[in-house]
Structure 1
Amino acid sequence: MSSARLLRPRALQALTTTTTTTTAGRNIGSMAATNAGIQKAMGDISSVFPSLSGVKIPPLPTRFAAIKSQLIGHNKTALEHSWRRLLPALSSRIDEIHHTGPSIIPSIPFTALSQPLSPSTLAAIKKAGAVHIRQVLPPSLALSLKSATQSYIDANSPRVRAFPKDSPAVYELYWSPPQVAARSHPNLLSTQRWLQNLWHSSSPSTKISTTHTLTYADRLRIRLPGDAGFALGPHVDGGSLERWEDPTYSRVYSKVWRGAWEEYDPFDAAHRVDARMDLYNGAGACAMFRMFQGWLSLSSTGPGEGTLKLFPALKEATAYWLMRPFMNADGRVEEPAQARFEGAAMGACQELSEELHPHLRLAEGMVSIPRVEPGDYVAWHCDTIHSVDREHKGVSDASVFYIPTTPLTKSNAEYLKRQKEAALTGGVPPDFPGAGQPGVGEAGFEGCVQWEKEAASGREMGMGTKGWEVMEGMAEGEKEAVREANQAMGW
């Protein structure tokens, strides 16, 4: 996963092909047909959170009891011993979090990324599963992007979908020019590459490239003072039941199932590459492997002002909520296994609560991130528990562009191809509510991004505007990932 020099240049190729153009009186041909069969139900950000939407979770089919039994296998005693070792370690970390406060989240300047960080700083980032990177974009640029975004919203109201409806905070917008500009900014792309290289693979044959980073089009948030509607509670993205149910996804956590949670490495990408994170076509479930969730701040926002909260105990917390469905109140593996996975539901994310996950002590373990300024970037590991302030008690908006970190893999490139097709038609990206449905999205919006101009700019966009290069020093698995991704995109 090297960042060594390029072996051979490749000329920029346009985002659109010679047979595919935008919707303004031109033929979109086979691309529209490709997306036509892939649809997501209508909704908004609440669709993937039963706690927000108010949807009652039905009992799981009995086959989930068998899944639990298969995962435990002959490791019942080892799992019980592991649980007993985990609880005091988790409790100790929660005490540390509660005592330290927001400063437990490592905060570094963007300029520090050009030099090796100290081992202690890297260890703190991995332990917390999160990092705050200051001034990735100049503050003036971030503020101008926010202003342009608000103009875009105003110009296209009331067609813009948002949640909550009566007091919008999270907007179902993906292709505004400011969002596209932020995602393709060189500083943001280099930050994403740096984050990707915090990961590794225990197998050199793993087909993944952290040298190349892809764009994942996501929403934006402009949360106004006093808002209590966007009260997103503790949760983990990247599916829920899939972590236990999908055979490849469950292999990511094999050391946890074997009763050796201490040996689990959250930054090993070996099995995540082929994991299926969306088995139920959830309205807001994610099919793309995102190493880090992240957002770019567009405002000055401190703790309690409608901002992000994290549970900065990545390994301990993950091991806990993964093992929790197997354990009874006495700290023993339940027998017989029940078709119950606390906080998990089909087509939804993994949610956490005081009632279902008492040892997490969420009131003490969830901590606000440090104050962010316009242009700061916050990233958290894809398994990190996170939430938002239940009420925005500040005096100004808390605004962000959601921009995660996604490496190059075959499956990510396959998603990127469908995302690019959606972009060309102003449609909703494949993972989001309303994807693939006719008449839904930003087609015809005033001020919508002009892809021909974007492609002609020549800047890197992470949108598959050109093929990716095999580079000197890459492991064979990374080389193969580049080849397969190029093939998936048709390069």
Structure 2
Amino acid sequence: MASCIPSRSRTLASTGRRLLTTGTKQSAAAAQGQKKEGDISDAFASLSGLTFRPLEPRFADLKHRLVAGIEEALQDSWNKLLASLREEIPLIAELGPKIVPSIDFKDLANASPEFRTEHKKRGVAVIRNVIPQQEALDLKQELRDYIAANPQTKAFPQDNPQVYELYWSPSQIKARSHPNLIQAQRFLMEFWHSRDPNALISSSHPLIYADRLRMRLPGDAKFALGPHIDGGSCERWEESGYGRGGVYDAIWKGRWWEYDPWESSCRLPVVSDLYNGVGACSMFRMFQGWLSMSETGPYEGTLLVNPLLSRATAYFLLRPFFSPKKQAADPTAEHFEESFLDSNNWELESPSSSWLHGATPGHGQELRAALHPHLDLPWSMVHMPKVNPGDYVSWHCDTIHAVDKVHAGKSDSSVMYIPACPLTVQNADFVGRQRDAFLQGYPCPDFGGGVGESKHVGRPGAKDVEEVDPEDGMRAFGLKAWDSEESGLTMGQREVMDRANKLWDFYA
């Protein structure tokens, strides 16, 4: 197996010149891979004005195949799950934001056992002081200047922008490639493990995923995105989606307690965007995350998370297979009577319906109190604790999360969405296409297409990344070759580096 040696590899100093000098041909090639134009509202059924309803009949057949022959075991596992939720949710409701573990950036190398245990269980965390506060505030001002210089920037909602369709602003480039942020992402991703020691993945080598940013203003109630999960919806049940890696097999077999949300090798074959949805993520993001650019607390336009992780995942996946014998007295209520929630009132569907509660092809998975009553979402969704500029907030890719319905604070709630993505072959392939979009100023390939920032004043380029971090930052962007001869690498890490280098057009 040939290794790519950086001293003999082309960096983007030459590759970038080759791409940029091809002019119109390169622009056309990048544009051909775009999705239709859109904004964040197109990624979610509720923001798009759609209603949740039974899906096409093939989904009933899919559900039948998943549980055929293990009906009794599945019913028993469902009953155990409901009992476990009754124990866990009161604890979450009592602790509220205190249940979210936090750690200071300077302490990452010596994280306490308590932090590690809680993080594994909850799947959420706040890393304090990743970037100095004033530096984070400067990034926010630079964003405002960039937006002011480019009034054509798309945003949602159009009449009072809160979420901007920006991917390549100077501030985003500086934040994503900041050495401290990359170190924080590496720390988080190493909570994952692989049952295959030679799996083609490295959680020690983060890749960039170009997401948007939020600058939510006091009083806003339009960006009221309820409980949801990114990374597809219907795909989680489909054999050609998450089924390709058997990610949730333990749950389908009636042993949800054996499901390991931190096993990475099973996620490598996953296809999380079967329907080419606008805003549907194609990369394996171990964590969603954002960097705060403001001081924001509960009810001030911030994030809410459901810290049940494995139990909540098992519940929303099993929910479509069970229905109540007797309906709730008020189906629109946020809290339901105990007789309705009792396990004796719930039975396995027969025959299977085509409902996948909260799932809509091409949109994110959403959750509602009426559709997922046992999660008691008004109580089990908790606010992030107060954050300051420069703090990094992260949540596991299966975590249910939401935003405040109303921003009741007195100042802006501003963040840059920056997830943590490992080096994998599929991720590297995406980053190669994303790099082309970056060089031309088009939107990240997962999001709504169009001219994007190609005509924006002050849009940065490869040299701006290099100025922030000429090594890890450049590699994370796909702008410099990996060193597969680095000491201490596994065989899988070496191979995935070599494959990434080939995909990115670097050669030994």
Query: Which residue of 120, 123, 126 corresponds with 1:126?
Result: 120
SS of alignment partner, residue 313 of structure 1? coil
1:345-364: per-residue Cα shift (whole Å, max 9, x none)?
10000000001000010000
Following the alignment from structure 2 to structure 1, what is the Cα–Cα distance between the partners of residues 440 and 81?
50
Following the alignment from structure 2 to structure 1, what is the Cα–Cα distance between the partners of residues 505 and 90?
52
Structure 2: which amino acid aligns with 1:289?
A: F
Contact 1:16 1:452 in 2 (8 A): no
Query: Which residue of 175, 193, 203 corresponds with 1:182?
Result: 175
Query: Which residue of 188, 209, 213 corresponds with 2:206?
Result: 213
Match of 1:454 in 2: 465
Match of 1:60 in 2: 55
Match of 2:334 in 1: none
Contact 2:462 2:479 in 1 (8 A): no
Following the alignment from structure 1 to structure 2, what is the Cα–Cα distance between the partners of residues 47 and 69?
30
Residues 215-294 of structure 1: matches in 2 within 5 Å?
215-247=208-240, 249-250=242-243, 251-294=246-289
Following the alignment from structure 1 to structure 2, what is the Cα–Cα distance between the partners of residues 315 and 267?
10
Following the alignment from structure 1 to structure 2, what is the Cα–Cα distance between the partners of residues 47 and 112?
40
Following the alignment from structure 1 to structure 2, what is the Cα–Cα distance between the partners of residues 21 and 97?
52
Structure 1: which amino acid aligns with 2:359?
A: A
Contact 2:173 2:464 in 1 (8 A): no
Identical amino acids, percent of aligned pairs:
48
Consecutive unaligned residues of structure 2, counting only runs of 5 or more, are: 325-344
Following the alignment from structure 1 to structure 2, what is the Cα–Cα distance between the partners of residues 15 and 44?
33
Moved more, 443-452 or 400-409: 443-452
Shift of 1:487: 1.7
Match of 1:312 in 2: 307
Provide closer, same or farther for how the CA distance between residues 7 and 217 of structure 1 changes in structure 2, counting only shifts above 3 A: closer
Moved more, 411-420 or 326-335: 326-335
SS of alignment partner, residue 154 of structure 1? helix
Shift of 1:7: 11
Match of 1:17 in 2: 15
Following the alignment from structure 1 to structure 2, what is the Cα–Cα distance between the partners of residues 289 and 453?
26
Contact 1:12 1:465 in 2 (8 A): no
SS of alignment partner, residue 274 of structure 1? coil
Say how many residue pairs are matched.
477
Contact 1:175 1:423 in 2 (8 A): yes
Structure 2: which amino acid aligns with 1:183?
A: R
Shift of 1:39: 2.5
Contact 1:127 1:314 in 2 (8 A): yes
Contact 2:19 2:26 in 1 (8 A): no
Following the alignment from structure 1 to structure 2, what is the Cα–Cα distance between the partners of residues 305 and 241?
32
| 1:84 equivalenced with 2:99 (yes/no) | no
Residues 354-393 of structure 1: matches in 2 within 5 Å?
354-393=369-408
1:401-444: per-residue Cα shift (whole Å, max 9, x none)?
0000000001101100110000011001100012xx4xx20012
Consecutive unaligned residues of structure 1, counting only runs of 5 or more, are: 1-5
Match of 1:426 in 2: 441
SS of alignment partner, residue 99 of structure 1? helix
CA RMSD of aligned residues (A): 1.8
1:99-137: per-residue Cα shift (whole Å, max 9, x none)?
00101000110111122x233221101211100000000
Shift of 1:166: 1.4
Structure 2: which amino acid aligns with 1:144?
A: D
Following the alignment from structure 1 to structure 2, what is the Cα–Cα distance between the partners of residues 44 and 18?
29
SS of alignment partner, residue 188 of structure 1? helix
1:150-187: per-residue Cα shift (whole Å, max 9, x none)?
01111111x11111111111000010101100001000
Contact 2:4 2:481 in 1 (8 A): no
SS of alignment partner, residue 346 of structure 2? coil
Following the alignment from structure 1 to structure 2, what is the Cα–Cα distance between the partners of residues 59 and 445?
43
Structure 2: which amino acid aligns with 1:460?
A: D
Match of 2:342 in 1: none
1:212-248: per-residue Cα shift (whole Å, max 9, x none)?
1100011011001111111010000000000111446
Provide closer, same or farther for how the CA distance between residues 153 and 465 of structure 1 changes in structure 2, counting only shifts above 3 A: same
Provide closer, same or farther for how the CA distance between residues 84 and 425 of structure 1 changes in structure 2, counting only shifts above 3 A: same
Shift of 1:337: 1.0
Following the alignment from structure 1 to structure 2, what is the Cα–Cα distance between the partners of residues 18 and 454?
12
Following the alignment from structure 1 to structure 2, what is the Cα–Cα distance between the partners of residues 12 and 137?
31
SS of alignment partner, residue 51 of structure 1? coil
Following the alignment from structure 1 to structure 2, what is the Cα–Cα distance between the partners of residues 18 and 175?
16
Contact 1:7 1:472 in 2 (8 A): no
Contact 1:20 1:29 in 2 (8 A): no
Contact 1:410 1:481 in 2 (8 A): yes
Following the alignment from structure 1 to structure 2, what is the Cα–Cα distance between the partners of residues 392 and 58?
30
Shift of 1:456: 6.3
SS of alignment partner, residue 323 of structure 2? coil
Match of 1:352 in 2: 367
1:75-112: per-residue Cα shift (whole Å, max 9, x none)?
21111111010111112211111000101000110111
Structure 2: which amino acid aligns with 1:243?
A: R
SS of alignment partner, residue 265 of structure 2? coil
Contact 1:83 1:331 in 2 (8 A): no
Shift of 1:454: 3.4
Match of 2:193 in 1: 200
Shift of 1:9: 5.3
Following the alignment from structure 1 to structure 2, what is the Cα–Cα distance between the partners of residues 20 and 58?
50
SS of alignment partner, residue 399 of structure 1? strand
Match of 1:155 in 2: 149
